[in-house]
Structure 1
Amino acid sequence: MTNKFYTFCLAILMVCISNYTMAQNNNTSSPFSAFGFGELSNKSTGRSNAMGGTAIGMRFRDQINPANPASYTARDSMSMVFEMGASGKQTRFASNGAVNNTNDSNFDYIALSFRIQNGIALAFGLQPYTNRGYSMSSTLKAGTTEEATVLYSGDGSVSKFFFGTGVKLFKNLSLGINANYYFGTLTTNSSSDFKQTLSSDIYFNNTNRIRGLGVDAGLQYQLDLDPEGKGPYMVFGATAKFNTKLKRDYDILRYYSNHNITSGGSVTSTNDTIQNMTGSSKDVNLPLGLGLGASYNVPNKLTLSADFYMEDWSDYNDNVGYATKDVTYGNRYIAAAGVEWIPEKFALRNYLKRISYRAGVRMEQDYIKINGNNINTYAVTAGIGLPIARQRSTLNIGVEFGTKGSSTSTTFKQDYTKLYISFALHDYWFFKRKID
């Protein structure tokens, strides 16, 4: 039992370390993250990432699925699953004929799950919720001769620590609830650099420290297509992320730097504060989110899955992003489908036959609109699940190719390639050995 205790302590330590790391770093370089509440993350984890992000109607025995907490009841009575994942992303941005390339690497999530008694299982972990990271510039004219270069930048992230439980209400019906604690910092900065020597450059900084509690829930029903319960089956799932208001502690600073010529001809600068305001308000509104999903499963052989998810951001009041009249907010939609195929899961001599082969597609309409135009993402995914030795642990590798936005209708377009790597480590906690 000592080794189990050390494993549990290690998992807690990793959660604490990743808690700090994810709260301090921005995980994107997208100009779209300048607006609203930033660039929202998907809820999917390792196995689901390679299947288009589908997860609402899927039950994993040896992996964790926080997208639908009802899936926690799939955990068997003697096992513990510890899972963590990371990703790397290469992006090509295009805007008004200009092209820029960026690379980001991120620690994505960490989670632990186990059953506490028959029909009841727990899970907890840490996931990103939204990210901000951008740097842009433009040239503005003031009057007939004066020009200014305006620099826009922002960074930060908001993470989500979840603690959830799944309960079997009946034999094939499960209910799950996640309690979520959101925390992090989002900043927005701008500076106006006038080209005239005798002018006042204007600087602006808005820092928002976000925190608060939220709840999401899920249902899953397993329909056995084989009377004996050993053949194909289907899973139908539904989720709801309830509306919540997060607290915002803010610091707003606006000042200008005035250039002056002294009697000796040198230029000096003096700073004068225009606005310096701090405060606290519970006004960051996260809207209701609803999702439906289904999967068709042939045990140890085939999984077909599909998801649909939506959120209504039309009433969102932007107080943490770059506010402009060209940007409005509306419905966010995600539609996805995926497949997993295993040639022969229990093949003794051929390792390639034991590998899980996965693929998927996803279409997403962002909650942000630019000049009345929706920002759409189209992506295809693929990946493999590599069994580790003769254990039930798995190394998941996935890749996603996608495009977001349009350089003509939404000003920016980004084409990206994203690599996912995750470990799902399985161990027996409650198995009593007769011989040690």
Structure 2
Amino acid sequence: MIRTNTAPLLIAFLLLFFVSERTMAQARISSPYSRYGVGDLWQNHYSVTLAGMGNVGLAIRSNNFLNIKNPASYTGFDSTSFLFDISALGMYTTLKTTEISQDADYGSLGYVLFGTPVTKWWRATFGLIPFSNVGYYVTEEKNVNNVGKVGIIYEGSGGLNQLHFGNGFKITDNLSIGINTSYVWGVITKRRRVTFPDSLSMLSTRIDNIDHISDFLVDIGVQYFVPLKNGMELGTGLVVNPGMNLNSTRRYLAQNYFGSNENIEFPRDTVAYSAGTKGKLEFPVGFGGGVSLRKANNFIVSMDVNWRNWKEYKSYGRSDSLQNSFSMHLGGEYIPKYNSITSYWHRVRYRLGIRYANTYIEINNHPIKEFGISFGLGLPFRRSKSMLNFAFEFGNRGTVENNLVQENFIKFTFGLSIYERWFVKNKYR
């Protein structure tokens, strides 16, 4: 049984984070699909609790974890409590084409979030959350008459993070609104090489685009709950992502060099160079809606639908290989007996979910789709609302057809949600 004192466990968790950060400092994702847009978006890892439920959440509010998918949900925790959420992620992926298969693994620190009441009707959250990851290495080889083999290498690394600040406001007991404001920053490096392995006289070319990105993004949410019979509650939620721009400064370098080995280069001349080209990443508008049915301390079932107009995304005025994204999420949680004193496992939260998405990537008119099945556990602390959460997801993205890549993945996330009462005055008799 997990006991009440959370301080030792929190210290151990933070030490694990420190060790993980040192040992995984060089780790990165390995996905050819992170080449597009701003990389692999982190949106399916915003909560370990919700990750075990198919990543639903737009119509869910809770008093023991922070749901940043909809900022209106922050009014779910009470005016005398303080919430702290922390997480980590591990992933094992098999990359497949019709000819080859390759395995890759990845580990990362997740989010660190804090939630606190400001007034009886106002809750605030803040923290650090990854926004996107970039990590790929893709090679192509062609035979050209009178030249021989021509190798093309695409390589990328980096990603974006966000400093999160959210606010939720209770309008009535059933209606709340909220706004998330995030300062997004990071560096994304994309490199392309053209080499001539069969030629001793032809120069290879390397082109680097290094973008330093920073600016603010906002999303707005609303939730409304209707009490039903038998202690049940019907919830609805809506989130809007306004179209906004991220400022970027690009360093561009194009060089010719001798050598067909990427680790051995003898620079010949610089074709083009610019140290600080200003531009914008134009993020499009998006919408999400959800519905939930809940019985307090017993079960919840929820469904979300999301859409975003990624066809309008532009980087420095140029479009990318993106399409409008669409996703559906269905999941739930079940607690056999919330207040059981005879069985700890009756108080455990059991979670299950499924999701399907047309991602924002489209290659040669072929949309890249993603599917995942997840399950999770919430292990409660003794005499506390604090909880240790685990989530597992099995799924795939892409296809081996049309010369594309299929990714089969297993994701494991774990996190700690700490609930403390910090604003209660002691009473003496």
Query: Do they fold alike, i.e. is TM over 0.5?
Result: yes
The residue type paired with residue 133 of structure 1 is G
2:414 matches 1:388: no
Root-mean-square deviation (CA, aligned residues, Å) is 2.6
* In structure 1, distance between residues paired with 2:422 and 2:106: 37
2:306 matches 1:309: yes
* In structure 2, distance between residues paired with 1:110 and 1:234: 30
8 A Cα contact 1:26 1:132, kept in partner: no
* In structure 1, distance between residues paired with 2:251 and 2:375: 43
* In structure 1, distance between residues paired with 2:237 and 2:30: 34
Match of 1:347? 340
Aligned match of 1:212 in 186, 211, 215? 215
Q: Which moved more, 1:268-277 or 1:210-219?
A: 268-277
2:87 partner SS? strand
Match of 2:187? 185
Shift in Å, 1:27: 4.5
Change over 3 Å in CA distance of 1:130–1:221 after alignment to 2: same
Match of 2:235? 235
Q: Deviations over 1:20-79 (max 9, x none)?
A: 99xx87742110011222112215311100000001000011100011000111111111
Q: Which moved more, 1:273-282 or 1:93-102?
A: 273-282
Q: Deviations over 1:265-296 (max 9, x none)?
A: xxx94520001112243420111110001110
8 A Cα contact 1:94 1:413, kept in partner: yes
Q: State how many pairs are aligned.
A: 408
8 A Cα contact 2:97 2:403, kept in partner: no
State how 1:253-264 maps to structure 2 within 5 Å: 253-258=253-258
Shift in Å, 1:329: 1.8
State how 1:23-422 maps to structure 2 within 5 Å: 27-42=28-43, 44-195=46-197, 196-226=199-229, 231-258=231-258, 269-319=266-316, 328-409=321-402, 411-422=404-415
* In structure 1, distance between residues paired with 2:239 and 2:28: 26
1:409 partner SS? helix
Shift in Å, 1:243: 0.9
8 A Cα contact 1:192 1:201, kept in partner: yes
2:43 partner SS? coil
Shift in Å, 1:334: 1.2
8 A Cα contact 1:62 1:393, kept in partner: yes
Match of 1:426? 419
Change over 3 Å in CA distance of 1:410–1:80 after alignment to 2: farther
Shift in Å, 1:177: 0.7
Q: Quick one: percent identity of the two aligned structures? A: 27
1:314 partner SS? helix
8 A Cα contact 1:187 1:320, kept in partner: no
Change over 3 Å in CA distance of 1:269–1:348 after alignment to 2: closer
Q: Deviations over 1:382-414 (max 9, x none)?
A: 011000222110111010000100110361100
* In structure 1, distance between residues paired with 2:238 and 2:27: 31
* In structure 2, distance between residues paired with 1:294 and 1:258: 60
* In structure 2, distance between residues paired with 1:89 and 1:131: 13
Shift in Å, 1:193: 2.5
Shift in Å, 1:319: 4.9
Match of 2:3? none
Structure 2 residue ranges without an equivalent (≥5) = 1-6, 260-264
Shift in Å, 1:140: 2.5
Shift in Å, 1:251: 0.5
Shift in Å, 1:151: 2.1
* In structure 2, distance between residues paired with 1:276 and 1:142: 29
8 A Cα contact 1:26 1:131, kept in partner: no
Q: Deviations over 1:356-401 (max 9, x none)?
A: 0000000011111011011000110001100022211011101000
The residue type paired with residue 143 of structure 1 is N
* In structure 1, distance between residues paired with 2:413 and 2:206: 38
